[in-house]
Structure 1
Amino acid sequence: MAYRVTVGRQTHVFADLKQVMAKATPLRSGDMLAGLAAASMEECMAAKIALADLPLRIFLSEALVPYEQDEVTRLILDTHDAAAFAPIAALTVGEFRDWLCSEAATTEVLAGIAPGVTPEMAAAVSKLMRNQDLILVARKCRVVTRFRNTLGLPGTMAVRLQPNHPTDDAAGILASIVDGLLYGCGDAVIGINPASDSPAAIGDLLRLLDELIRRFDIPTQSCVLTHVTSAIALIGQGAPVDLVFQSVAGTQKANDSFGVSLALLREGMEAGRSLKRGTVGDNVMYFETGQGSALSAGAHHGVDQQTLEARAYAVARAYDPLLVNTVVGFIGPEYLYDGKQIIRAGLEDHFCGKLMGVPMGCDICYTNHAEADQDDMDTLLTLLGTAGVNFVMGVPGADDVMLNYQSTSFHDQLYIREVLDLKRAPEFEAWLRRMEITDAAGKLSTGRGRQALLAAVQGRAA
């Protein structure tokens, strides 16, 4: 079905819903690379006008990726919650935007409709929103998850402590972990991207993390970010796996390129839960995503990258994850060219995930060949902190020496906590006080915990 919109003396014709969605998207290099972007600001505005007048229901009858060819589409449509959708079923996309920004859309109401919001609906309404709208609405959305602590509570922001090492050296990793803990990081997860995919090496890292967490009774969870099949195998061998990790995307073909299917993710979740390692909950999955992944795999079906990113959140949502984060600038400037595009994408991703009921965090990052710098990351961190992001990354010096990209540092989370008065997960906050790493106000201290943790590093180095 074609869509026609007249702006001034110019009539713009869009061949189908996919084209309306793509042309209405704020400009980004990935859509330009795919030949999907609007040719002008006027064409982009015409597409937004067309999109605003479309009923939300259209996304339940007109699949952007064919139902018969794609298990992600089947997941989205077959599990759609009609009862949750009912309060917004009569709205157009434009009316949905106005309602989301109104006082009627409270935290409780938004939680109620989340199972009825498809990723295409979330992506569509985000295309009509300014940055301030994305922040305003996302701040009202709260998604709380639990494993060994409680994440996503109002007034909190967690940090993934990311102690990567280019050779998986245990002493180097442990030094980075202790450094992060002494800055109050690690409540989201202590998560290592391994340099090696050797099961033996990954098993050693899992035991290193488990030993440290048990030794100091730290109310957090660990993860070695290996493929889900490796995690399943290691669980079968008795390895101490807390969280099961996997990168996911928004189409079946893109997930095929990652070597995963929906059935395999279900198997991973069940394997993780079988260990019963959580103390306050059983959210055992950790997913990472990023705009451009489907396009880079040649699996985008002519759909814009932001809409496909939102579809990845539908995949994640199906497995009750503890953590989901968009690694927003990691794929490179071919997909998000500069700081402005990265900032917009981070806000879109966080908004769409939260609107769908997903516990969204963000790796606020860029590659060294992108037109971006740490000032851009400061801006996005400040905006996402205001928007209520569940967690961000803590990387030594903000420079990941194994993955070779720039993220946010242990120091950066101190800044945003001070500015916005953001606390850590309550169980982790209490542990920091017990260890005298922080004082009663949550400020860094120099108590006994510092000496004990430093002794652990020295013992490993020796």
Structure 2
Amino acid sequence: MLYKHTIQQHTYQFNDLKTLMAKATPFRSGDALAGFAAETYQERVAAQMCLADVPLKTFLNEAVIPYEQDEITRLITDAHDKNAFTLISSFTVGQLRDWLLSDAADTHTLQQMQFAFTPEMIAAVSKIMRNQDLILAAQKCEVVTRFRNTIGLKGRFSARLQPNHPTDDPKGIAASIVDGLLYASGDAVIGINPATDSPAHVYTLLQMLDGLINKFSIPTQSCVLCHLTTTIQLIKQGAPVDLAFQSIGGTEKTNGSFGVNLSLLKEAYDAALSLNRGTVGKNVMYFETGQGSSLSANANEGVDQQTCEARSYAVARHFKPHIVNSVVGFIGPEYLYDGKQIMRAALEDHFCAKMLGVPMGMDVCYTNHAEADQDDMDNLLILLGVAGCNFIIGVPGADDIMLNYQSTSFHDTLFVRKALNLRPAPEFESWLIKQGVIDETGNQLPVNASHKLLLQSF
């Protein structure tokens, strides 16, 4: 279908919905690299105005990737809630924006609408929203999950404790874990990026984490971020797997580049469920995503990187994950060039995921060759806290010495909680109080003799 919009007697034409979506996207280097970006600011505005007038029903009739060609398109189409969609079926994209910002779209209503939205609808509306719109609408989305604790409640803000080490040295990992726990991080997950995907090596790390959690009765979950095939193999061997991890993308080809498909994800989901290791819930999956992953794998199918990203959330929500995060600035400046682009992408990702019912956190990060710095991350951090982000990453000193990129620190989690009056997951908070890490009001307590057992256990 041909789309047109005229500005000052100049008519801009867009050959199909996929092209229109790409041209309407706020500028980023990845779309320019792919040749999808609007050539001028005027063309971008024309595309956004044209997109605002597109009826939501159009997205049900014009797929950006054909149904027959892509299993994620099939998943999106087959999971669409037609009954819930009747509430908004007469809307255009612009009218959806207005409704999302109105009091009519409250938390309860948005929770009921998660499968009425398709990722493409939500990606489209995000393209015509300001940053403040993305924050305000996302703030109303409460996506709550449970395993050994409860993540995503309003007024709560969690952190993944990421004790990476370039050689997986147990002492180095242990030091980071103790550091993080004493700074009240780790309620989202204690998750290690292993230096190798060796099953035996991963098994050792899983046992280490499981021993720590059991010894101190910590109400959290562990994860070693290996490939799903390794996780499935280890589950069959009796390994203590809490959350099964996988990087995912928004096209079938992208997931193929990661060595997975929906069938394999289902196998891992069922395997993790069968262990029955959760105490307060059964959300057993952990997914990571990121704008640019499809383009970097030459698997974007002609779709702009933000729409590809939104489509990955359809995969995530299908498997009821405990946590999901976009590693927003990790791929590099070829895809998100500077702090402004990273900030915009993070707010888009958080908004789109929450609207689609995904328990979204964020790795607030950048590579050292991007035009960004820690001040940019501080700004993004507070914006995400206001928007209701479920969790962030905690790395010692905000510097990941294994993956060689800049993220957020344990101190950053404390900053957001203090600045915005937010608290850890309730079960984890009770444990922190009992351990003397924080007091009843959430204030940080100094390390003292009561922490001696924790410190000496390593």
TM range (shorter): over 0.9
User: Residues of 2 paired with 1:224 and 1:86: CA distance?
Assistant: 42
SS of corresponding position for 1:350: helix
2:456 maps to which residue? 455
CA contact (8 A) 1:321 1:359 kept: yes
Map of 1:249-260 to 2, 5 A cutoff?
Answer: 249-260=249-260
On the 8 A contact 1:243/1:272 being kept in 2, the answer is: yes
- Specify the alignment match of 1:36 in structure 2: 36
Counterpart secondary structure, 1:346: helix
> What residue in structure 1 maps to residue 297 of structure 2?
297
- Which amino acid in structure 1 is aligned with residue 84 of structure 2? A
SS in 1 for 2:283: coil
Q: What is the Cα deviation at residue 450 of structure 1? A: 2.2
CA distance in 2, matches of 1:22, 1:413: 34
SS in 1 for 2:191: strand
Cα distance in 2 for partners of 1:456, 1:94 equals 57
Q: What's the CA shift for 1:443? A: 1.2
Question: 1:352 and 1:445 mapped to 2: Cα distance?
Answer: 37
CA distance in structure 1 between the aligned counterparts of 2:338 and 2:267, rounded to whole angstroms = 38
Q: C-alpha distance in 1, partners of 2:4/2:79?
A: 32
TM-score, normalising length: structure 2: 0.99
* In 1, Cα distance between equivalents of 2:450 and 2:291: 40
Q: Does 1:382 align with 2:382?
A: yes
Q: What is the Cα deviation at residue 354 of structure 1? A: 0.2
Distance in 1 of aligned mates of 2:386 and 2:198: 40
Report how far residue 415 of structure 1 moved. 0.9
Counterpart of 2:97 in structure 1 is: 97
Once the two structures are superposed, what CA deviation does each residue of 1:74-106 show, in whole Å capped at 9, x if it has no partner?
Answer: 000011111121211110000000000011110
Deviates more, 1:336-345 or 1:4-13: 4-13
Distance in 2 (alpha carbons) for counterparts of 1:449 and 1:414: 21
| Cα displacement (A) at 1:9 | 2.2
Superposed counterparts of 1:294-443, under 5 Å: 294-443=294-443
For 1:87, give the aligned amino acid: L
| Distance in 2, Cα, partners of 1:84 & 1:204 | 47
Q: Distance in 2 between matches of 1:82 and 1:365?
A: 38
Q: Is 1:56 aligned with 2:56?
A: yes
Distance 1:278 1:46 in 2: 50
Structure 1 residue runs of 5 or longer lacking an equivalent are 458-462
Letter in 1 for 2:60: L
Q: d(CA) in 2 for partners of 1:250 and 1:450?
A: 45
| Counterpart for residue 199 of structure 1 | 199
SS at match of 2:31: helix
Counterparts in 2 of 1:428 and 1:213: CA distance versus 1, 3 Å: same
Task: After TM superposition, give the deviation of residue 445 of structure 1 in Å.
Answer: 1.2
1:209-232, Cα deviation, whole Å (9 max, x unpaired): 000000000000000000111000
- C-alpha deviation, 1:451, in angstroms: 1.7
String of CA shifts for 1:17-54, please: whole Å, max 9, x gaps. Answer: 11110000000000000000001111000001110001
Q: Secondary structure at the match of 1:432?
A: helix
Q: Distance in 1 between matches of 2:85 and 2:357?
A: 13
Give the aligned residue type for 2:221: Q
Aligned to 1:4, what secondary structure does the other structure show? strand
1:269 counterpart SS class = helix
Q: Aligned partner of 2:23: which letter?
A: K
Hey, which bits of structure 1, 4+ residues long, moved more than 4 A?
none
How much is the aligned-residue C-alpha RMSD, in angstroms? Answer: 0.7
Equivalent-residue separation in structure 1 for 2:453 and 2:417 (angstroms):
25
- Distance (Å, rounded) in 2 between the aligned partners of 1:85 and 1:219: 38
The offset of 1:449, in angstroms, is: 4.4
Secondary structure at the residue paired with 1:280?
Answer: coil
The number of equivalent residue pairs is 457
Q: 1:311 to 1:271 in 2, by over 3 A?
A: same
Contact map agreement 1:148 1:219 (CA 8 A) in 2: yes
Q: Deviation at 1:2?
A: 1.1
SS at match of 2:27: coil
- Whole-angstrom CA distance in 2 between matches of 1:185 and 1:263: 34
Q: Specify the SS of the correspondent of 1:211.
A: helix
Inter-partner Cα distance in structure 2 for 1:121 and 1:3: 16
Q: What are the superposed Cα offsets for residues 318-366 of structure 1, whole Å, 9 maximum, x if unpaired?
A: 0000001000000000000000000000000000000001100000000
Q: Write out aligned runs for 1:226-245 (5 A).
A: 226-245=226-245
Shift of 1:448: 4.7
2:450, 2:117 → 1: CA distance?
45
